[in-house]
Amino acid sequence: MSAQTRIAVSELRLYLREPAAVAATLGLPLLIMVSFGLIVTPGDDPIYTYFPGLAISFSLAILSLNLLPTILAGYREKGILRRLHTTPVHPSKVLIGQLLVSSAVAVAMAVVVVAAGRIIGYPLPGQPLGFVLAFVLGALSLFSVGLLVAAIAPTARIATAIGMLLFFVNMFTGGVFTPREALPGFLNRIGDFMPLGATMQAVRDSWDGHFPQLPHLVVLATITVVFGLASARLFRWE
């Protein structure tokens, strides 16, 4: 087993030992689908795509804006990354391990949401390729934002504070707390340029049988590249 694989497995074990993290990223999306499925009968109205979009977007936001930056900033604060510089294992392997675990959890969450929705009575995403593209770009864009927070936050507490601020701003403007149909037009326009808002709408479009709108995909790809490059340039190991 390679050093990278061992670190990824170790990070996965640490994640599984945190019941709150597992509940927020896997249990809560399932609870959202089941609870709304019991209350509201799925139908043809586009508002019904809000519920799977909510479950997926909420979990991705928790993973990328709360867990990822707090963990990595905590490793730096505790000197773990600095100490790895004295070993043959480069500290970047910890970062890669965290990304691998976060990506695996995100995929597992998406499978849970799709499967639960199908059991409850929701149709499968009407545009499968569009759904996969929206999910992958959405996850990458949000992870890149989380990595930038981890790159600039000197402590885990500050990373948590910044992540929570970004979390609530994205949730409010992105049509996650409240469906886009109930938001004023100016908030929808702002949400179109936010990673969570673009992800939410792209997932909803693909679930409803439409290919995600190009502007949303361009926004997600641009955020991934810009924030990803910025985090790579600014990330401090000490």
Please give the C-alpha separations between residue 154 and each of 59, 136, 213, in angstroms, as whole numbers: 25, 29, 37
Percent of the chain with pLDDT over 70: 94
Most confident of 29-43, 126-140, 179-193: 126-140
- The ranges assigned to domains in the chain are 3-234
Percent of the chain with pLDDT over 90: 42
Check: pTM over 0.85? Answer yes or no. yes
